[in-house]
A = this chain, B = another copy of it.
Amino acid sequence: MSEFMPTMADVAREAGVSKMTVSRVLADRDVSAAMRERVLAVIKQLGYLPDASAGTLSSGRSPFIVALVPSMSSSNFADTVHSLNAAVTAHGLQLLLGDTDYDPKREEQLLRVMLAHRPEGVMLTGSFHTVATQAMLKRSKVPVVETWDVPRTPIQQAVGFSNVDAACEMMRHLHERGYRRIGFIGGATRLDRRGLDRQTGYRQGLKLFGLGEPRVIQHGGSPVTMSHGGEAFSLLLDAWPDTDAVMCVSDMSAFGALMECHRRGISVPNQMAVAGFGDFEVSRYCYPSISTVAVDPHAIGRIAGEMLLAGAAARKSGMQGPSEKRRVEFRVLARQST
């Protein structure tokens, strides 16, 4: 077994051709069938693997799309990333994935590192970014798409929905069902803007339907967990014992709250309604099943991919990339818990 990594020059020499011919074979450009055979055979025999850095440096074209998500353990973001990955992989690109941990400062650091690879596109989550982040993005002229939210003025492109409106629709649902003393539980962090938007939607709903003062418990970090949900629900009952419905920032906390009801012998939905957000699998299969707001994380990923690909194509031909906003549907799913 040889001690060194063969290069394209080695393949060329062994096959008795020029490097360029090898390069063309790999890129599947015009080469005679016979030549292709010959070169491919040598490549296989030598176990040659191209060096991506050299290719990137030489061509000025990177194989990367950057995707930055707040958390990889949220199945919602995982789904979005999965679909984005499918979309870009089909075009020969690969994901460079980063986990910001819900921290814009961390997002900035990650982005700085990742822009060093001169990606063809960048997917961000949310619309809350540091000024340095925005400046880097502008300078680098890389196609950018913000997801899971639709900012008034996106950096460039965006695909998502209004978390405020979605939460408000859930309030409409609860109001229609006859609930009047509705609480809200969410995380304690200031950094999860989508969570905060949902709380804003809750407050709008209270006003809109004349439901009195907010009953808000902020408890636990991001992402919100089942145990946070149970604890927050207990705090909610401590503060406002006559609460008859709880709207949760996510299905995870809703499930936690629901289990706390079980434990306390509170009947759902008779004595207490529980609403979630996100249509996670658990909310569909638990008992009673949890009413929630369904969005399509896969659609967000797929559309983000299309937008980025379009942006990359535009940039290649020297054009200004499109600056588009797209909305995806959300839907209140009435299930057993309300």
What is A's interface to B at a CB cutoff of 8 Å? Answer: 1, 5, 47, 49-57, 62, 72-73, 75, 78-79, 81-82, 85, 94-97, 99, 112-118, 135-136, 138-140, 225-227, 230, 252, 255-256, 259, 262-263, 281-282, 284-287
Contact = CB atoms under 8 A, between A and B. Distances in A.
Number of copies: 2
8 contacts: A49-B136, A53-B118, A73-B79, A85-B99, A95-B97, A226-B281, A226-B284, A227-B284
Contacts of A62: 53
A286 B252 CA distance: 11
Contact of A285 (B55, B116, B230): B230
Contacts of A1: 138-139
Chain A binding surface, main DSSP class = helix
A116 B57 contact: no
Nearest to A48: B139
Nearest to A85: B99
Contacts of A78: 72-73, 78
* A112, A136, A281 pick with most chain B CB within 10 angstroms: A281
Nearest to A227: B285
For the complex of A and B, the 9 pairs showing the least CB-CB separation, nearest first, are A52-B116, A53-B56, A226-B285, A53-B57, A53-B53, A262-B287, A73-B78, A47-B139, A52-B117
